[in-house]
Amino acid sequence: MAIEVKVPLLPESISDATVSTWHKKAGDSVSRDENIVDLETDKVMLEVPAPASGILKEIVKKEGSTVQAQEVIAVIEEGEARAETTAKSDQKSNSGAAATEQKSEKQDKQSTPKQEQKTTAAAQKQSSNTAELSPSARRAAAEHDVDVSQVNGTGKGGRVTKENVLAARSDETRTDKNATTPSDGARLEKRVPMTRIRARIAERLLEVTQNTAMLTTFNEINMAPVMEVRSRYREKFEKKYNTRLGFMSFFVRAVVEALKRSPVVNASIDGNDIVYHGYFDIGVAVSTERGLVVPVVRNADQLSMAEIEMQIAASAEKARTGKLTLEDMQGGTFTITNGGVFGSLMATPIINAPQCAILGMHKIQERPVVENGEIVIRPMMYVALSYDHRLIDGKDSVLFLVSIKELLEDPTRLLLEV
């Protein structure tokens, strides 16, 4: 029986999606609930599972197609995959590989000694890689005429998987489409469309710069006290809670206390109204291959350091694997971004609308500073608060950063909330 694969119901405010990557091709076996295709929206990646086990009979919407909710994108012929079909495909693939090797051997006999050595080595490598292929990878290599000796395997023990073969085929196709024949002094270019997520990020950032009176205030923090506490208790902390103790939990706790002292920094503008939020949902920016995303730590004022670290780690993993949902990213009242992990010494972060402020962390670097009239070396970090000047005055922004500085330079105050 034919089963239709449809686009799932899309999150609110998202009208359509783009077919990003098919993980199966027509004729492949699929298992119920196995992810067969990824859909890209303006904000998140959606996985579409197979509604039943069987054979992927037809792909209706190719990669790059724009689709709507409940639109048919593929058809599955229900029923378990037939082992004999796979066996025949493997036999055909092996026969093709054997024929290729025989042809290579015949050509080798007509080659010069050096050519013979090169060809023999290549054939041995090809034979070795073919032996390490999974059945599905072997079929894919035969169908797409991929030289597996040039494919790096990521499977167990370096085994070449079907995904490795298809990725190599995609790379070859992209190269063929985008490359031009080089000549002396030629300057090559490659043009690719923006992903939907990148296009949406660009649109939102432009809106913020055009629709807010954004200003940035800077300060610096001596990170030695936090580093000393972290070094002293990190091993016990990680052993007890089974999660790492990073700097971000210290900053989240410090931000929450500073927001309590400066409620306007935790507010937002709605038309001619100011909305003061009586809760603390802190967004933590995470960089992924698809772009910057901001999962939210809900009710951060009610969480322990360990709970904050665990939520951040879980959100970061979901972001890297494309499993974040809109609910994970909506509703934050304040955002923290850390450019220091990439080596940034100082930068001006852009507000994450509709919020009115964002804190930028930067690289910890030893610098000479003056303490009690003496020059000493301390691990210092510049911090930046970008804010909407329509709502937040310069005094509020300065006092907010001073609170962050005081709390982190004396971490005991975080426990005592003073």
- Of 132-141, 190-199, 200-209, 353-362, where does mean pLDDT reach its minimum? 132-141
| Distance from C-alpha of 139 to C-alpha of 145, rounded to nearest angstrom | 10
- H helix or E strand, kind and range, residue 99: helix 83-109
pLDDT at 20 over 90: no
Name the residue type at position 408.
Answer: L
User: In the numeric block, which tokens belong to residue 212?
Assistant: 């807010």
Count of other CB atoms within 10 angstroms of residue 149: 16
Given a contact cutoff of 8 angstroms between Cβ atoms, the answer to whether 408 and 220 are in contact is no
| Distance from C-alpha of 296 to C-alpha of 280, rounded to nearest angstrom | 10
Q: Which of the pair, 158 or 73, is modelled with greater confidence?
A: 73
pLDDT at 78 over 90: no
Helix (H, G, I), strand (E, B) or coil at 410: coil
Positive or negative: CA dihedral 263, 269, 273, 275? negative
| Distance from C-alpha of 321 to C-alpha of 302, rounded to nearest angstrom | 28
Given a contact cutoff of 8 angstroms between Cβ atoms, the answer to whether 146 and 165 are in contact is yes
- Walk across the sheet containing 296-297 and list its strands: 214-222, 374-388, 357-371, 334-338, 282-284, 296-297
Does 277 qualify as catalytic in the annotation?
Answer: no
Domains of the chain with bracketed CATH: 2-78 (2.40.50.100), 110-178 (no CATH), 214-416 (3.30.559.10)
The 3-state secondary structure of 176-235 reads HHHCCCCCCCCCCCCCCCCCHHHHHHHHHHHHHHHHCCEEEEEEEEECHHHHHHHHHHHH
For 103-113, what is the mean pLDDT? Answer: 47
| Distance from C-alpha of 247 to C-alpha of 226, rounded to nearest angstrom | 8
pLDDT at 381 over 60: yes
- H helix or E strand, kind and range, residue 17: strand 17-22
Farthest CA pair distance, the chain: 86
| Distance from C-alpha of 346 to C-alpha of 178, rounded to nearest angstrom | 37
User: In the numeric block, which tokens belong to residue 99?
Assistant: 């024929």
User: In the numeric block, which tokens belong to residue 230?
Assistant: 């972290």
Label residues 29-44 b or e (16+ Cβ within 10 Å = b): bbeeeeebbbbbbbbb
Given a contact cutoff of 8 angstroms between Cβ atoms, the answer to whether 67 and 18 are in contact is yes
Which residue in the block uniquely carries the two structure tokens 């050096």? 114
Q: Specify the pLDDT at position 79.
A: 76
Quick one: which of 267, 224, 263 has its CA closest to 247? 224
| Distance from C-alpha of 381 to C-alpha of 408, rounded to nearest angstrom | 11
| Distance from C-alpha of 56 to C-alpha of 36, rounded to nearest angstrom | 9
Q: Which of the pair, 132 or 67, is modelled with greater confidence?
A: 67
- Of 18-27, 119-128, 169-178, where does mean pLDDT reach its minimum? 119-128
User: In the numeric block, which tokens belong to residue 16?
Assistant: 């359509």
pLDDT digits (tens, 9 = 90+) for 113-123: 445 454 444 44
End-to-end CA distance of the chain: 68
- Strands of 372-401, DSSP E: 374-388
pLDDT at 89 over 60: no
Does 389 qualify as catalytic in the annotation?
Answer: yes
How, if at all, do strands 72-78 and 66-67 pair?
Answer: unpaired
Q: Which of the pair, 142 or 217, is modelled with greater confidence?
A: 217
For 77-101, what is the mean pLDDT? Answer: 52
pLDDT digits (tens, 9 = 90+) for 207-243: 999 999 999 999 999 999 999 999 999 999 999 999 9
Q: What is the CA radius of gyration of the chain?
A: 28
Beta bridge partners of 2: 77
DSSP-derived letter for residue 376 is E
pTM over 0.75: no
Q: Specify the pLDDT at position 87.
A: 44
For 128-137, what is the mean pLDDT? Answer: 56
| Distance from C-alpha of 216 to C-alpha of 350, rounded to nearest angstrom | 9
pLDDT digits (tens, 9 = 90+) for 292-301: 889 999 999 9
Which residue in the block uniquely carries the two structure tokens 């936090």? 226
Given a contact cutoff of 8 angstroms between Cβ atoms, the answer to whether 260 and 278 are in contact is no
User: In the numeric block, which tokens belong to residue 89?
Assistant: 């495909």
Residue 304 binned pLDDT confidence (cut-offs 50, 70, 90)? very high
Beta bridge partners of 40: 18, 45
Q: Specify the pLDDT at position 370.
A: 94
pLDDT digits (tens, 9 = 90+) for 176-193: 555 555 556 778 888 888
Helix (H, G, I), strand (E, B) or coil at 32: coil
Find the catalytic residue in 108, 389, 396, 410: 389
